[in-house]
Amino acid sequence: MTTVRREAFGRMPPEEGGGEVEKFVLQSDSVRVEILSFGCIITTLETKDRDGQFSDVVLGFDTLEGYTKKHPFFGAVVGRVANRIANGRFTLDSKEYQLFLNNGPNSLHGGAKGFDKVLWSPQVLPNGVRFFRLSPDGEEGYPGDLKVWVTYTLSGRELAINYQAQTSKTTPISLTNHAYFNLAGQGSRDIYDHEISIEADSYLPVDDTKIPTGEVAAVQGTGFDLRQPVELGKHFQKFHLDGFDHNFCLHQGQDRRLVARVFHPPTGRTMEVHTTQPGIQFYTGNNLDGSLKGKGAATYPKHSAFCLETQNWPDAVNKPHFPSVLLQPGEEYNHTTWLVFNTA
């Protein structure tokens, strides 16, 4: 049985239109999640450890102000296109589009004001909440009026996130949620004692601006082979890694499949990621530097969280041999990711 509660969370600053931001609390016997109508942001996700104790396992802020200021996309839905587009440029039907450059020479997570920085219209469901917005033609440089629905539903130990979209013109689209997890509890020092596995035979090598080179490389015999669980801290040392910020190429198909699993031995918490998406960006919080004051005055140093962002492959709009990122008029974009929390 899931209960859903809505309450006021704050008001947008006047220069942002001053709209009211609501918080939606979804609760089952084993998971409690709080989501904002601003950016569809997951602000809190509490799960049990093996002793039945709840802890909040996602990074974030106590107040709306934290989320309206610059931050690394904590808990937010990012789009129109998640991840990086090289030089913020692409060509469709022989027309070139130029996006805002917000990540060195590239465009990242939708540009200057992506889906993470806007108010969505909420609708309460029996076991969750659905958010809607219309991204107008030309927003952030993207073509087409894009209608977008993001639906969170909680069932027992499983949180499902469904993304749907329809467009009036051909447009690239790739949506994901950018939650930062630490299964020891948010505010814990690092994720080195987490064990992770990712069901991927290949990954995308990147250049020094984090754009895929175009090569689809086998993980076999490299530090990117996570098909068997590895303990992160030891794995970083063994392969002299500074961390991960890479797309892992998943087995293609429209069906739900298990793509990643994280286990935290000290608490017994496990998290499984299931999805219909073709890729998953594994990011280990390499750019966190302890400068942000998070929930309960916690600081978030480097490697204090991980992200498993299910999405299309980065820069796919410029790489014809990558899975297509284009949505045509009359088609529907429809992807789901399921996060399953358990104890072992």
Work out the burial of residue 140: count CB atoms within 10 Å of its CB; fewer than 13 is exposed, 13-18 middle, 19 or more buried. Answer: buried
- Report which secondary-structure segment, H or E, holds 235: helix 232-238
260 is in an annotated binding site: no
83 is in an annotated binding site: yes
179 is in an annotated binding site: yes
In terms of phi and psi (left: phi > 0; alpha: psi -120 to 50; beta: otherwise), the region of 210 is left
Distance (Å) of CA 230 to CA 186, 244, 340: 21, 13, 20
Distance (Å) of CA 175 to CA 115, 216, 234, 264: 9, 22, 32, 27
Residue 332 falls in the annotated catalytic set: no
Residue 140 falls in the annotated catalytic set: no
What span, in angstroms and rounded, lies between the C-alpha atoms of 278 and 270?
Answer: 23
What span, in angstroms and rounded, lies between the C-alpha atoms of 119 and 198?
Answer: 33
Find the catalytic residue in 178, 194, 246, 264: 178
Which tokens go with 303? 């490697």
What span, in angstroms and rounded, lies between the C-alpha atoms of 106 and 90?
Answer: 11
178 is in an annotated binding site: yes
What span, in angstroms and rounded, lies between the C-alpha atoms of 79 and 282?
Answer: 17
32 is in an annotated binding site: no
Per DSSP bridges, beta strands 42-48 and 54-56 are antiparallel
29 is in an annotated binding site: no
- Report which secondary-structure segment, H or E, holds 269: strand 269-275
Alpha-carbon 208 to chain mean position: 22
Other CB atoms within 10 Å distance of the CB of residue 320: 8
Look at residues 117, 154, 129 and name the one whose alpha carbon lies nearest to residue 7.
129
Find the catalytic residue in 140, 195, 272, 309: 309
Written as one letter, the residue type at 111 is G
Q: Which residues are annotated as a binding site for beta-D-galactose?
A: 83-84, 178-180, 245
Q: Which residues are annotated as a binding site?
A: 83-84, 178-180, 245
Enzyme catalytic residues = 178, 309
